[in-house]
Amino acid sequence: MRVFACPNCGSWVEFEDRICLACDTHLSYAPDRDLIVRSVPGLKCRYRPLLSCNWVADPDPEADGSCAACRLTVERPDLEDEVAVTQLSIAEQGKRRLLRQLLHLGLPVEPRRDDRGLGFALKSPAAGEQVLTGHADGLITINLTEADDAHREALRISLGEPYRTMLGHMRHEIGHYYWQVLVDGAPSQAIFRSLFGDERQDYSASLDSHYGDEDGDGQESGEHITDYATMHPWEDFAETFAHYLHIADGLETTAAVGITVDGPTGVSAPLAGTLRSVGVLRLEDLTMAEILGHWHGFAIAANALSRSMGEPDLYPFVITPSVAEKLAYVHELVRAA
Ligand SMILES: [Zn+2]
Ligand SMILES: [Zn+2]
Ligand SMILES: [Zn+2]
């Protein structure tokens, strides 16, 4: 993501900040200008006090005082329930990052109305109730228990996943939405099938066989970005789409903060100086191969840095040639949109 400055004192402020720590100015994010601005009373999202939303209210009367991000939520838990509200604010924070990126990339976002368009059902399951995170016809359901670190981390370990985050869930589910909007019935659907497989295969049988595969070795052929993506062409597309958003956001951030990777040093040839990565604020003029060329250096450097802190790899993925081809397909879809 880009970097933001306080409109009053020019200090570096974060996308989520509601107040400048240097000068106490109250801040809001204006999605139409992609800027942090001074908060104006009466023009703040109605969910600012309860959910820490810092966006400017959407002027559309149908938004009813919500911002462009909060208005996409068509179902939320009981706001008297403190645990649910904490989980909801974490999910909404991820959703704001997601939406800002979709707008930045120029992807269409149609707020849900009459069972059409994009909406989010953010649900907190009652005891014994099962809520499945997923997408159906523009409606993205998120099980808010995923906002609980201990719960999510336990699931991540039991499923053998290297990466599981709320933002990752949002990016995955939006991938299903854009499959429907940009691929289903489009001329490029034949290319989709040649790369990802035929999506008309039985989905529930694929689901059963995935969760029955105890070894989790489906990814070994190197054709998928994650093990989960091996389950069905739709899941492969959603995982690939989410991954494209990870890389796009990462490269935008490195450009915004001015990181370049030009190394490594302290090693002899042929390794010395082989990485050369610069960030990219807008990806549309580059090919996917160029984007991945830039990303490669950052990924290696970020992992090395993460290990210096005793943490696991920040970027626990490998881009094989097959995955790169699929990412190139997603890049063309986003560019065309
Ligand atoms: Zn300030
Ligand atoms: Zn809001
Ligand atoms: Zn999915």
Query: What confidence tens digit (pLDDT) does each residue in 192-230 have?
Result: 999 999 999 888 877 777 776 555 555 667 899 999 999
pLDDT value, residue 228:
95
Spell out the SS3 assignment of 228-292.
HHHCCHHHHHHHHHHHHHHHHHHHHHHHHHCCEEEECCCCCCCCCCCEEEECCCCCCCCCHHHHH
How close is the Cα of 281 to the center of ligand 2, in Å? 25
Nearest-angstrom CA–CA distance, 310 and 229: 29
CB 91 within 8 A of CB 147: yes
Residue 89: pLDDT over 80: yes
- Ligand nearest, relative to CA of residue 232: 3
How close is the Cα of 159 to the center of ligand 2, in Å? 33
- Ligand nearest, relative to CA of residue 47: 2
Output 26-30 pairs: Cβ under 8 A, ≥24 positions apart: 27/54, 28/54, 28/55, 28/56, 29/4, 29/54, 29/55, 29/56, 29/96, 29/100, 30/55, 30/56
Compute the mean pLDDT over every residue in the chain, rounded to the nearest whole number. Answer: 94
pLDDT value, residue 217:
52
- Ligand nearest, relative to CA of residue 36: 1
The DSSP-derived string for 318-335 is: ---HHHHHHHHHHHHHHH
Residue 284: pLDDT over 80: yes
Residue 20: pLDDT over 80: yes
Strands, E, within 98-183: which ranges? 119-123, 134-136, 139-143
How close is the Cα of 332 to the center of ligand 3, in Å? 21
Sign for the CA dihedral angle at 218, 221, 227, 228 comes to negative
Please state the rounded mean pLDDT for residues 131-142.
Answer: 97
How close is the Cα of 14 to the center of ligand 1, in Å? 11
What's the chain's length in residues?
337
What is the end-to-end Cα distance of the chain in Å, rounded? 20
Residue 290: pLDDT over 80: yes
How close is the Cα of 185 to the center of ligand 1, in Å? 49
How close is the Cα of 68 to the center of ligand 2, in Å? 7
- Ligand nearest, relative to CA of residue 43: 2
- Ligand nearest, relative to CA of residue 234: 3
pLDDT value, residue 237:
98
- Ligand nearest, relative to CA of residue 29: 2
3-class DSSP state of 126: coil
Please state the rounded mean pLDDT for residues 89-106.
Answer: 98
- Ligand nearest, relative to CA of residue 24: 1
How close is the Cα of 202 to the center of ligand 3, in Å? 14
How close is the Cα of 147 to the center of ligand 3, in Å? 18
Nearest-angstrom CA–CA distance, 307 and 305: 5
CB 280 within 8 A of CB 286: yes
pLDDT value, residue 220:
66
Q: What is the DSSP letter of 181?
A: I
How close is the Cα of 23 to the center of ligand 1, in Å? 4
pLDDT value, residue 215:
53
What share of the chain in percent tops pLDDT 90?
88
Nearest-angstrom CA–CA distance, 99 and 56: 14
- Ligand nearest, relative to CA of residue 238: 3
Q: Between 139 and 270, where is the model more confident? A: 139
How close is the Cα of 117 to the center of ligand 2, in Å? 19
Nearest-angstrom CA–CA distance, 234 and 221: 18
Q: What is the DSSP letter of 7?
A: T
Summarised one tens digit per residue, pLDDT across range 297-308 is 999 999 999 999
Summarised one tens digit per residue, pLDDT across range 220-257 is 678 999 999 999 999 999 999 999 999 999 999 999 99
How close is the Cα of 304 to the center of ligand 3, in Å? 30
Between 44-53, 128-137, 269-278, the lowest mean confidence (pLDDT) is in: 269-278
- Ligand nearest, relative to CA of residue 22: 1
- Ligand nearest, relative to CA of residue 141: 3
Please state the rounded mean pLDDT for residues 57-65.
Answer: 95
Element (H, E) at 315: none
- Ligand nearest, relative to CA of residue 54: 2
Residue boundaries of the structural domains of the chain:
4-184, 228-336
pLDDT value, residue 91:
98
CB 233 within 8 A of CB 196: yes
How close is the Cα of 235 to the center of ligand 3, in Å? 5
Cα dihedral 116, 120, 122, 125, rounded to 10, equals: 40
Summarised one tens digit per residue, pLDDT across range 173-188 is 999 999 999 999 999 9
* Cβ density class 93-127: b for 16+ within 10 Å, e for less: bbbbbbbbbbbbbebebebbeeeebbbbbbbbeee
How close is the Cα of 9 to the center of ligand 3, in Å? 43
How close is the Cα of 107 to the center of ligand 1, in Å? 32
Token reading at 328: 């190139």
Sign for the CA dihedral angle at 122, 126, 127, 133 comes to negative
Token reading at 290: 């160029």
